[in-house]
Amino acid sequence: MARTGSITGILKALRQASWRDFRSLGSVGGQNFFLFLLLVALQPESAQFFFLILALILLFPLSADPMQKIPADRRATWPLRKWEWGAIRLGSLALSPISWAAALLIGSRTNWSAGVLLLGSAIVLQLLRLLVKSSLKRLPEANWFYWIPAPPGVIGSLMRLQWREMLRTLDPYVALLLVICTELFRLSGKPLESAALRIMSLVVALAISTQTQVLFGIDGSGAERYRQLPIRGWQILLAKDLAFLVLLGLLVLPLDLVSGLTAGVVALAIGHHRSVMNVTPQAQWRFTSGVIFPDGVIQSVLLFAAGNVVREQGLWLAALCVFAWLASLLFYGWQWDRNRFARS
């Protein structure tokens, strides 16, 4: 009895940890891209593609092995027999959302091949993850984050930090997948409407625009360091903004650079308010989560509006957007300096 008690006790703890982890994926609900998905869902045939992109990215965190939640060192100290660990391992599989989805698909018979494919993809992703983890343990320099260069000066050091932090969230990977799919479509030789590249460039900007609402949230406990260093608020914001614009620029380069960057500066001009006045901590390897109403809605509408007409309206609109961004940067940089005292 005591033996099965230890198995159920551990499985119960694993269930709680897995549930907490699963709920953290709800951060997608605070995404501007999610807002976009809700809108395109009104036209189901167009929505399928975007939902598929989101599902592909979510497959990474969803396929995580629940057993990994018990640290290996801790596992080694618990006095459990092999068969008990075997039972826990089997029980833990039922805690994975991928197992539920795969079981449902396989059970439905009509979609059993999709279920097998889902399960197979999750296992392959797990194996890849373990492989990468063990290689990085042996050779830390193999981590590609290590090779992200820093431009000179303190702004450059902060830009490198911001790039790495942005790339530790899921947002840029949705954007990257959108760009890759668009380019593959172009390469296939199928006809593409003239406005399609501009629209895709705006969707890419939208996919990473929530980052502008949480510029300090992705710093984790390091955010406190900014208050200890002799750096002005506008310098920190400038570094974070430039990092965002460079990443966005690289993503939209094959699509429509001008429209994408215009949308980016608009997103930043609006996002500064939430970033500075209400720092919300973000989790790594999850979607960044901002505020949909009103910030996200305003950002999405204005970035689409400005990005969509900038080519027709010409330089004056681009200049106006840049001016608004700079004004916002200086104002919220000043706000940051004013609020330099920690809250606790």
Partner 1 sequence: MISCKDITKNFGEFHAVSHASFLVPRGSICALLGPNGAGKSTVVKILTGLLRATSGSVEICGTRSDDPALKRIIGILPESLALFDALTVAEHLDLTGAAYKLEPAVIRERTDQLLRVLRLEHGRSTFIHQCSYGMRKKTALAMALLPNPRALFLDEPFEGIDPVTAETIRMQLRSIARRGITVLLTSHILSLVDRVADKVVMINRGRIVFDANTNELPDTLENLYFEMVERAEGEELAWLGPEASQAS
Chain residues that interact with partner 1, rule: CB under 8 A: 140-141, 143, 145-146, 150, 153-154, 156-158, 160-161, 164-165, 168, 219-225, 227-231, 284, 337, 340-342, 344
Q: How far is the CB of 221 from partner 1 (least distance, A)?
A: 5
Q: How far is the CB of 67 from partner 1 (least distance, A)?
A: 21
Looking at the Cβ atoms of 6 and 339, the one nearer to partner 1 is 339
Specify whether the backbone of 261 is left (phi greater than 0), alpha (psi in -120 to 50) or beta: alpha
Looking at the Cβ atoms of 219 and 241, the one nearer to partner 1 is 219
Q: How far is the CB of 152 from partner 1 (least distance, A)?
A: 8
Q: How far is the CB of 209 from partner 1 (least distance, A)?
A: 21
Residue with tokens 């159920």: 8
Q: Evaluate the omega torsion of the peptide bond into residue 140 and state whether it is cis, within 30 degrees of 0.
A: no
Q: How far is the CB of 276 from partner 1 (least distance, A)?
A: 17
Looking at the Cβ atoms of 220 and 254, the one nearer to partner 1 is 220
Helix axes 233-252, 257-277, angle to 10 degrees: 150
Looking at the Cβ atoms of 2 and 42, the one nearer to partner 1 is 2
* Beta carbons of 56 and 174 less than 8 angstroms apart: no
Residue with tokens 């720092």: 279
Q: Which of 136, 323, 342 is nearest to 226 (CA)?
A: 342
Tokens of 88: 């826990």
Q: How far is the CB of 117 from partner 1 (least distance, A)?
A: 33
Give me the phi and psi of 141, to 5 degrees please: -70, -15
Q: How far is the CB of 228 from partner 1 (least distance, A)?
A: 5
Alpha carbon distance, N-terminus to C-terminus of the chain: 48
Q: Around Cβ 316, how many Cβ atoms within 10 Å?
A: 9
Report the distance separating Cα 244 and Cα 287, nearest Å.
16
Looking at the Cβ atoms of 293 and 341, the one nearer to partner 1 is 341
Looking at the Cβ atoms of 5 and 140, the one nearer to partner 1 is 140
HEC letters along 76-129: HHCCCCHHHHHHHHHHHHCCCHHHHHHHHHHHCCCCHHHHHHHHHHHHHHHHHH
Looking at the Cβ atoms of 44 and 149, the one nearer to partner 1 is 149
Looking at the Cβ atoms of 304 and 336, the one nearer to partner 1 is 336
The DSSP string of 211-258 is: GGG-TTGGGGGGHHHHHHSS--HHHHHHHHHHHHHHHHHHHHTTT-HH
Q: How far is the CB of 342 from partner 1 (least distance, A)?
A: 5
* Beta carbons of 306 and 263 less than 8 angstroms apart: yes
Report the distance separating Cα 243 and Cα 161, nearest Å.
9
Give every CB contact of residue 130 below 8 A, 6+ residues apart in sequence.
none
Looking at the Cβ atoms of 131 and 148, the one nearer to partner 1 is 148
Q: How far is the CB of 227 from partner 1 (least distance, A)?
A: 6
